[in-house]
Structure 1
Amino acid sequence: MTEAETLGAMQAQINFATNREDGGTWSNLHKSLITQPLTAQGIMLRDRSLSADAPSLECEGFEVHRLAFDGAKWRNPEWVETTGSPLTMEHIRECTGAAHIAPFYGHMALIRDTGDPAQPTAAEFVHLDHSRTSALPFIERCAPENIRARYPHVRIYNVWRALTPPPHDMPLAICDQRTIDPADWVEGKTVEPVMPEGVPYVTTVFNPGQRWNWFSDLTPDDALVFKAWDSDPSVPFGCLHGAFRNPYAPADTVPRASAELRYIAFFED
């Protein structure tokens, strides 16, 4: 790395797949269902909040947007469905140039709260939410056949927000999509009561060529937008991501809560 690139770099422990053979299972709601073998690895993370060059969706695969809404109520499903998600979806359509866009979960926000035992905690391992094939049924369910036929190039974007102010005890690490090697991937399954058969996801073993990043100053008015899936096999698939424990967070830091929305974007090419 150059001197500019190491500005704000920090070392932290992040959980990776232990090996390429055993993907195991993961559960956001029931820890007893987790069998994914994980190994903590000390890695360097570049703080992109301090870097002069901003990352982009087309290069690194992620960007931070200032996206504030008056009276935001991300924990309120009705507000999310009628206001927060539609406005976010329109923003994603404009900033990506998508010809058509659809919500992944019907305008539902996934809330994670490490301080609330009734909510899913942060996912403390690196992953992509879907494999190359496991996203296809969701895309078919969320977009009519004529849209899928007209726009063959499809991407899924995640929009992640911290609902608590910085500093965060459990920030989100995100990997430059250009440094991810599919040969390192390990496929597992997310298993929940509503999907007992599981939905395949991708995790990875550690590779020193991966370039990991984080943002130290994300506020509830900021949105971390990143590519999570791409139908075009000739370009990077998406950004591995996962929560990690911030070794420099003060002891009295408010436990991190977050909201995540996903959108399916259709393109002409």
Structure 2
Amino acid sequence: MSDVVIEQPVEVEAGLNYLVPTGVKPASYAYDPPPGVPRRTGEYRTRAVKISNARLRPPPGGLSLDRNGFELHREASVLSDFSDDAAIRSVYYPRSERLLKQWTGAKRVVIFDHTLRDGAAARANGVKEPVHLIHNDQTFVSGPRRVRDHLPGEEAARLLQGRFAIVNLWRPVGEVVESSPLALCDSRSIDERDAVAQDFIYPTMTGETYAFVHNPLHRWYYFPLMSPDEALLIKIYDSAGDGVARFTAHTAFDDPTSPPDARPRRSIELRSLLFF
């Protein structure tokens, strides 16, 4: 893509993939399933929605992780090369922990995993493609389970008595995002009945994530041309029940303004437990 400055639209219209409610709990595998078993079940339907440019038309009152379920920060990455898993864990994790504390006010942060994504067909081993289905990475059932999965029993029991949250830190890798940006749904526009639990199957355990059914009240936003010097916080779970955003929906989407020669999107997302 050339270096010509592109005027950003105030909003775009794009197709987002919503779950069709059938009464059957969907499931998906985090690995190659057994022969004859589909990688993912559930019926999805593409709906055309308006997605506002959050840089030019943010939600009323401005963006807040605890109000809208997501917020954007500008902070250069301590790493530019994410090909070394050991460096991600030894260098990127500690710096991200400090930033998460600074940005959220959490007293303690535990990063429990990360995922690299690449929209190119020839991806490196272990790197996943962007997800083009509307989802949230945890449910009200699986959120507390994550604390028990990653901390000793007595400590987990104690921490679960206070407020905790699960937040993803999402960042572009290498270059500006020209294709498959993230769409994020304002948490305040989501009815809890829109969220449908689905099994997420690992080799040694089964977790839960949320898929979402269509609701015309959903308000969608995106940040066009995100750079590696920007980091997006996404609320995945919050134990607070006093009007704080408890989760939000998000998905990659095909941006109709992406140029024909747009580079495949590359990104990294960290998943973290936050204790307040």
What TM bracket, shorter-length normalisation?
0.7 to 0.9
Q: Does 1:113 align with 2:123?
A: no
Distance in 1 (CA, whole Å) between partners of 2:248 and 2:178 is: 21
2:14 to 12, 15, 24: 12
Report the alpha carbon displacement of residue 247 of structure 1 after superposing the two structures with TM. Answer: 1.6
Letter of the aligned partner of 2:116 in structure 1? I
Residues 8 and 97 of structure 1, relative CA distance in 2, 3 Å threshold: same
Distance in 1 (CA, whole Å) between partners of 2:259 and 2:30 is: 26
Alignment of 1:52-91 (within 5 A): 54-91=62-99
Distance in 2 (CA, whole Å) between partners of 1:57 and 1:228 is: 10
Residues 228 and 20 of structure 1, relative CA distance in 2, 3 Å threshold: farther
Residues 176 and 65 of structure 1, relative CA distance in 2, 3 Å threshold: same
Report the alpha carbon displacement of residue 48 of structure 1 after superposing the two structures with TM. Answer: 0.8
Structure 2 residue runs of 5 or longer lacking an equivalent are: 1-8
**Which residue pairs with 1:237 in the alignment?**
246
Structure 1 residue runs of 5 or longer lacking an equivalent are: 1-6
**Which residue pairs with 1:129 in the alignment?**
137
1:159 to 142, 165, 169: 169
Cα deviation code 1:69-92 (max 9, x no counterpart): 344222321111111111011111
Normalization by structure 1: what TM-score?
A: 0.87
Distance in 2 (CA, whole Å) between partners of 1:143 and 1:69 is: 27
Alignment of 1:93-112 (within 5 A): 93-105=101-113, 109-112=114-117
Cα deviation code 1:156-197 (max 9, x no counterpart): 1101112253352211111111111111221112234x34x5
Count of aligned positions: 256
**Which residue pairs with 1:3 in the alignment?**
none
Q: Percent identity?
A: 25
Distance in 2 (CA, whole Å) between partners of 1:164 and 1:173 is: 20
Normalization by structure 2: what TM-score?
A: 0.85
**Alignment root-mean-square deviation, CA:** 2.1
Distance in 2 (CA, whole Å) between partners of 1:81 and 1:246 is: 32
Distance in 2 (CA, whole Å) between partners of 1:68 and 1:221 is: 4
Distance in 2 (CA, whole Å) between partners of 1:30 and 1:172 is: 25
Distance in 2 (CA, whole Å) between partners of 1:71 and 1:128 is: 27
